[in-house]
């Protein structure tokens, strides 16, 4: 099963979607006024990740059909990534750190609108739709995804300062082998999982974790690819605007 999964991942990587959303200035710290008055449908305070972190590679999985649902996800109007200004600045520093070590950041997801989360909920409720089970949740029955916390009504991504990513090796031209794929539902995805992982795979997970933590992000204990800005500017706001150039074009 894992050979099949790796083959499919490699094929998708060959057609990685690079995008360039509109530019926006990055400011170093959030103001209390901005945090308190944030409007869920307003992208003020957000930037294009590809403009703020130009060395990052984008493979926006939810704009494609290669994801656990098997369809393009609601709210992903373009194959770009948006993120808060504060998270963008920290991610740029992480990118620079990675480059010094011979890597580039490869981004799977950043800001995720609430409409996308709602799409996930509808999918999870349809237990007959198991098209992508072999690739993303082969060990689980779809009916347990809510109870085990893989699908929820709210996502930290919707607050705008969370990113899903991996490391891309500039020497080999490939992603580092993390021993499992992005969005795999299972214990294999836990950052501290060792199981049947090789020393190289464990080391690669630690490299990603160290780069992100050293630059102001906190990890999630169930997903090796998931990091949230330690001091996120909108901790209580779940945004609804779509992922598109137009959302940040007027800033």
pLDDT tens digits along 177-189: 999 999 999 999 9
Let me know: does 165 contact 209? Beta carbons within 8 Å. Answer: no
pLDDT surpasses 70 at 72: yes
Instruction: Show Cβ contacts of residue 162 under 8 Å, excluding neighbours closer than 6 positions.
Output: 87, 110, 111, 112, 155, 156, 226, 227, 228, 229, 232
Query: What pLDDT does 155 receive?
Result: 97
Residue 177 to residues 74, 221, 229, Cα–Cα distance (Å): 30, 19, 24
Let me know: does 82 contact 43? Beta carbons within 8 Å. Answer: yes
Instruction: Show Cβ contacts of residue 7 under 8 Å, excluding neighbours closer than 6 positions.
Output: none
pLDDT surpasses 70 at 37: no
Please report which helix (H) or strand (E) contains residue 229, including its range. strand 223-229
pTM of the model as a whole: 0.86
Closest CA to 45 of 213, 224, 234, 210: 234
pLDDT surpasses 70 at 62: yes
Q: Where are the domains of the chain?
A: 2-248
pLDDT tens per residue, range 201-241: 999 999 999 999 999 999 999 999 999 999 999 999 999 99
62: which 2 tokens? 């939810």
- Model confidence band, residue 15 (pLDDT cutoffs 50, 70, 90): very low
100 is catalytic: no
124: which 2 tokens? 């999870």
Mean pLDDT of the chain: 88
- Model confidence band, residue 38 (pLDDT cutoffs 50, 70, 90): confident
Of the residues 86, 175, 223, 232, only one is catalytic, namely 223
pLDDT tens per residue, range 170-179: 999 999 999 9
pLDDT surpasses 60 at 244: yes
Name the more confident of 14 and 153: 153
**DSSP 3-state of 184:** coil
Mean pLDDT along residues 23-44: 57
Closest CA to 139 of 242, 31, 27, 1: 1
pLDDT surpasses 70 at 78: yes
* Class of CATH domain 2-248: alpha beta
pLDDT surpasses 60 at 2: no
Strands (E), 126-216: 162-169, 174-175
Name the more confident of 3 and 148: 148
pLDDT tens per residue, range 112-128: 999 999 999 999 999 99
Let me know: does 77 contact 142? Beta carbons within 8 Å. Answer: no
Cα 101 off chain centre by: 21
Residue 215 and residue 217: Cα distance in Å, rounded? 6
Residue 43 and residue 240: Cα distance in Å, rounded? 9
């Amino acid at each position: 099963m894992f050979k099949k999964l790796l083959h499919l991942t490699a094929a998708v990587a060959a057609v990685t979607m690079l995008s360039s959303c509109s530019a926006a200035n990055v400011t170093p710290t959030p103001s209390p006024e901005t945090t308190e008055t944030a409007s869920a449908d307003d992208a003020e305070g957000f930037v294009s990740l590809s403009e703020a972190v130009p060395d990052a590679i984008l493979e926006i999985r939810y704009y494609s059909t290669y994801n656990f649902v098997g369809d393009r996800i609601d709210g992903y109007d373009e194959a770009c990534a948006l993120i808060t200004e504060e998270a963008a600045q920290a991610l740029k520093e992480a990118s620079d750190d990675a480059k010094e070590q011979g890597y580039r950041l490869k981004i799977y997801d950043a800001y995720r609108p609430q409409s996308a989360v709602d799409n996930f909920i509808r999918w999870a409720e349809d237990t007959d739709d198991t098209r992508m089970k072999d690739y993303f949740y082969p060990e689980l029955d779809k009916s347990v995804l809510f109870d085990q916390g893989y699908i929820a009504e709210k996502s930290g991504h919707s607050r705008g300062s969370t990113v899903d990513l991996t490391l891309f090796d500039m020497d080999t031209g490939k992603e580092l082998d993390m021993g499992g794929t992005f969005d795999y539902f299972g214990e294999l995805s836990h950052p501290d999982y060792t199981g049947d992982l090789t020393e190289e795979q464990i080391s690669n997970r630690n490299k990603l974790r160290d780069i992100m933590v050293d630059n102001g992000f906190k990890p999630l204990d169930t997903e090796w690819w998931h990091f949230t800005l330690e001091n996120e500017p909108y901790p209580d706001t779940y945004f609804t605007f779509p992922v598109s150039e137009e959302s940040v074009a007027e800033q």
